[in-house]
Structure 1
Amino acid sequence: MRTVSDAADLTTRARIRNVAIELIGTHGYERASVRMIAQAAGVSPALVVHHFGDKNGLRTQCNDYVTAMFIDDTGAAAGSSGTIEIIQAALNNLDVYGPALNYLAQMLSDDSLAADELFDGILHGTMQGMREQEAAGIIHPQGDTEGTALLLTLFGLAPLVLRRQFARALGEDDLTPAGIARLTIPMLELFTHGYYSDDAILKATKSAMEQQNG
């Protein structure tokens, strides 16, 4: 994963974008004004408009950049497992990825087209990772790949969007690497061994749904 502050990405445009990611993640899109972003980036509001057109154009660039941070590895390496492990790895390195994670949480909570596009990008990355894992024999073939990818995406985003609630349930003030580590084994047990002791409930549910749809 690249970070919000790549050393090779220090242009004025990139600095404005990085500051916007941090401020929107902290204050939300509505409260993070162009003037506030410009001041923090050490530029004029007019220069922000020059580079991005308007605040919505800036948000689009932020969305594209943050989405790519969490799905690039999924497309680059066979066997990468997508949203869950990538976001979990970022949560284990909050000093580096904290601004991008805060941004994700803020934007995914918005009722907006931008939030929809952000979610769709992460979902696509998860689905691509699943297909690569299935081809490599790492995971079982899925009856409904799209449905499973959606569940995995929701599972991966839950600690991010519900960060405060996860932290409270773990007895912490904030979600920390230690808290994430505590969930690692239960998560792997669930994914590796499953939840039910046999497939009786699955078979009964399939049968009932077939009768209902038949």
Structure 2
Amino acid sequence: MSSPPQEGIDSADLTAQAKIRNAAVVHFARDGFGRTNLRAVAATAGVSAALVIRHFGSKDQLRDVCDEHVLRLLVRRARDVADPAGMREVSREYLSDPEEYRRHVQYMVRAIEEDRPAAATFVDTLVGESERILRAGIEDGSIRPSSDVRALAVLNVLISLSTMTMAPPLTRALGFDGVGPGLLQRIGLPVLELFTHGMYADDTTLKAVQAAWDSRAEGDE
């Protein structure tokens, strides 16, 4: 098996542990935990398989380190976007290396798909941060009140994850070969328009759906 390209590995001044960790993030995100082997990780990191074992002990322990690393980065970004200055910084960070940013999201999505123990931490943390931002916005008047803030937080995380990991047919439908700055700019503005202005001109649909749910609830009693 030929070694995969050296994607996701930073400059040569990284420590061996960081190189191995970054290589593992690439493989786990792209290939999944089960299909990733330590020899492939070692080849991508430019080290021996024995060195991987020496530093991390096992693939499970390496995955735990990767989980903690990616979670820390994503939580920091989630907290940074809570204010305009932080959002600008996160945007600059993304534009400087969009592939790395997307890879971290793919890693998290892969953890969720595989129902790894870390998935619950990933989801709970991001939803919790999103809910905190929403409640703060509702309190200061920058965000409209919601009938279910927790559900809105889950929806917010879901939209963010799905946008960053759009399937190729969907990216091609917008004229792009993959997820990148151009695609995110094109889809990001309509998303913000939807969040800012709403989509329906009135509450007819909302009232109809609410009435249907209320009627069903009464029938279940």
Query: Which TM-score tier does this pair reach, normalised by the shorter chain?
Result: 0.7 to 0.9
Deviations 1:12-46 (A, max 9, x none): 32222111112223333223211221233233334
Distance in structure 1 (CA, Å) of the matches to 2:95 and 2:214: 41
Contact kept, 8 Å, 2:131 with 2:149, in 1: the verdict is yes
Query: 1:55 is aligned with what amino acid?
Result: K
Distance in structure 2 (CA, Å) of the matches to 1:109 and 1:155: 16
Pick 1 or 2: higher relative contact order, CA cutoff 8 A, min separation 6: 1
Distance change in 2, residues 1:113/1:128 (3 Å)? same
- In the TM superposition, residue 133 of structure 1 has moved relative to its aligned partner by 2.4
- In the TM superposition, residue 150 of structure 1 has moved relative to its aligned partner by 0.9
Counterpart selection for 2:49 from 21, 45, 51: 45
Distance change in 2, residues 1:36/1:180 (3 Å)? same
Contact kept, 8 Å, 1:70 with 1:86, in 2: the verdict is no
Deviations 1:51-79 (A, max 9, x none): 33321221122122112212214335643
State the TM-score, normalizing by the size of structure 1: 0.78
- In the TM superposition, residue 92 of structure 1 has moved relative to its aligned partner by 7.9
1:149 maps onto 2:153 in alignment:
yes
Query: 2:44 is aligned with what amino acid?
Result: A
Counterpart selection for 2:63 from 59, 62, 66: 59
Query: 1:110 is aligned with what amino acid?
Result: E
Distance in structure 1 (CA, Å) of the matches to 2:43 and 2:179: 30
Query: 1:100 is aligned with what amino acid?
Result: H
Contact kept, 8 Å, 1:74 with 1:128, in 2: the verdict is no
Distance change in 2, residues 1:108/1:90 (3 Å)? farther
Task: Output aligned runs, 1:1-214, within 5 Å.
Answer: 10-75=14-79, 78-79=82-83, 90=94, 93-214=97-218
- In the TM superposition, residue 189 of structure 1 has moved relative to its aligned partner by 1.6
- In the TM superposition, residue 168 of structure 1 has moved relative to its aligned partner by 1.7
Distance change in 2, residues 1:139/1:89 (3 Å)? farther
Query: 1:142 is aligned with what amino acid?
Result: S
Distance change in 2, residues 1:167/1:34 (3 Å)? same
- In the TM superposition, residue 96 of structure 1 has moved relative to its aligned partner by 4.4
Distance in structure 1 (CA, Å) of the matches to 2:155 and 2:92: 16
- In the TM superposition, residue 157 of structure 1 has moved relative to its aligned partner by 0.9
Distance change in 2, residues 1:77/1:114 (3 Å)? closer
Contact kept, 8 Å, 1:79 with 1:133, in 2: the verdict is no
Aligned length, in residue pairs: 208
Distance in structure 2 (CA, Å) of the matches to 1:76 and 1:170: 29
| RMSD of Structure 2 on Structure 1 (CA) | 3.3
Contact kept, 8 Å, 1:75 with 1:125, in 2: the verdict is yes
Deviations 1:144-202 (A, max 9, x none): 11111111111111123334233121122212311221113211221111111111222
- In the TM superposition, residue 98 of structure 1 has moved relative to its aligned partner by 4.3
SS of structure 1 residue aligned to 2:208? helix
